[in-house]
Structure 1
Amino acid sequence: MEEAVIDTAFEFHSDTPSGKDADAHSPTLRRYHQLLWSKPLPNGDPFTLTPEPRGYLSHRSGRGTFFLSSDAITTNLLGRAWRVIQRIAPDDRPENLGYTIGSAVVFPGDKIDGKATINGARGFHPRIADRFDLTLECIRRHYAGGTSPLTDALLRYARFFDLFETFDAYTEFFLLDDLVHAESRQVAFMHPFDDFRTPAVPRTVDEYLAYVRSSNEFIRARNRRIENYVAGTS
């Protein structure tokens, strides 16, 4: 990839029409996804993404046809944790880093049998609450043959995950290594985790502040990783 094609500071809401969803309507975000993820799969097959006239991005090859959509993978839980947030003075709240490429990934976007996509399932499941660290743990368990709150959704899109063969290859492909412990290859959770028994939404001010700090650290680290990838130094 050519250097400086991706601006990791670009805020996708800035080129999204007013009142629209950046995941669907930011032309820069779609172009960045196309540039970043059009590359060889772990087995060497090309994974070429092309814009869909009435959709988002697609891949068509001997490996199958995949219709993809963009999804934000970080959240400050503004709606779910509002009771906690209102107890925090505005000046004491962590910085909102906005929506940059470090906070975005692609998932299959076509519904199967009218059931929820991965985006929808993780957004509505109370034990996930749209958190990507918990989503990534579900994906890790999927590759390991285990179960999780998202088992049904991930199995519906098993062909997509089969493209990447292993959890490590999946995280490496999408530059998600900063959310995985290097030695253990376990997910680096942003909030205390106990086999999905721990509440997904922080319940105290200290818990919420720690969660958002962890989320911001991940965004910054992934943006740096993307910069290095684009520059050919990673």
Structure 2
Amino acid sequence: MGKDPDSWSPTLRRYHKALWSRELPSGQVFTLMDDVPKRYLSHDSHLGSFALSSDSVIPTYLGWKRMGPIVSRAPFWKTQKIQRECYTIGGMMIWPSTTVPGAGTINGMRGLNLKIADRFDLTLECVRRHYSGDESPLSAVIDANAEFFQLFCDFGGFVDFFLLQDLVDPDMQKVRFMTCFNGFSRTGLPDTLEAYKSYLDNARTFVNARNRRIAALEITV
């Protein structure tokens, strides 16, 4: 009770291992192992050596003090319900977990950089910009993990591999943001009650859609 499922849930780790041990755009298989000491998940082959961790990517901001004045005005029962839905596998990702000196980890910097504020849509925009050669608030840590992102060839390959199609336009050129996008000019936190409600509704829609894509794979865990 009360433990972070990203670190402590063996069921979540089995799901990640089963889901993401799959064929890369290159045709090679990204096989994940869960028996390497001090690694949550691991891949070692001629493709590279990667230590990976789980990350719940859809925050509802219930525990964020700076969001308190807005969150407190939203129906608590609804926010809690959405939070439970977002803690399903559709709201989870894996990222490289090795700390890069001067850059940190992707998981950590997503939360520490307030221009991202832990939001997955904003993180995905940073990933898109990496593939197109543009700068973003996460450029340092994403560039430090370039070998991982090279596995997927391009942004479309990354989106298809991780079943993120419902968070991008059909041509995979633009991210579908969960609130109005400000171009990283200010904080990524929803700044009004209306923006917060819109964010929650869009986050819920994405997670449920991704859960359906995952279920359609019919993978045995």
TM-score by length of 2: 0.91
Gapped regions of structure 1 (runs ≥ 5)? 1-17
How many pairs does the alignment contain? 214
Give the drift of 1:44: 1.1
**Which one-letter code corresponds to 1:117 in the other structure?**
T
Matches within 5 A, 1:128-167: 128-167=116-155
Q: Secondary structure at the match of 2:217?
A: helix
Q: Select between 96-105 and 59-68 the one with higher mean Cα deviation.
A: 96-105
Distance change >3 Å, CA 94–CA 214, structure 1 → 2:
farther
Which whole-Å deviations, capped at 9, do the CAs of 1:123-168 have from their partners, x for residues lacking one? 1001000000000000000000000000001011000000101000
Q: Secondary structure at the match of 2:98?
A: coil
Partners of 1:92 and 1:60 lie apart in 2 by: 42
Q: Secondary structure at the match of 1:112?
A: coil
Q: Secondary structure at the match of 1:59?
A: strand
1:105 equivalent to 2:88? Answer: no
**Which one-letter code corresponds to 2:41 in the other structure?**
L
1:60 equivalent to 2:60? Answer: no
Which whole-Å deviations, capped at 9, do the CAs of 1:62-102 have from their partners, x for residues lacking one? 01100000001111122142110112343565732411100
**Which one-letter code corresponds to 2:70 in the other structure?**
V
Q: Does structure 1 retain, via aligned residues, the 8 Å contact 2:43–2:49? A: yes
Gapped regions of structure 2 (runs ≥ 5)? none
Partner of 2:211: 223
Q: Secondary structure at the match of 1:58?
A: strand
Backbone CA RMSD of aligned residues: 1.6
**Which one-letter code corresponds to 1:84 in the other structure?**
I
**Which one-letter code corresponds to 2:180 in the other structure?**
P
1:74 equivalent to 2:53? Answer: no
Partners of 2:175 and 2:38 lie apart in 1 by: 35
Partner of 1:85: 71
Partners of 1:92 and 1:31 lie apart in 2 by: 29
1:28 equivalent to 2:8? Answer: no
Give the drift of 1:107: 0.3
Structure showing the higher helix proportion among its residues: 2
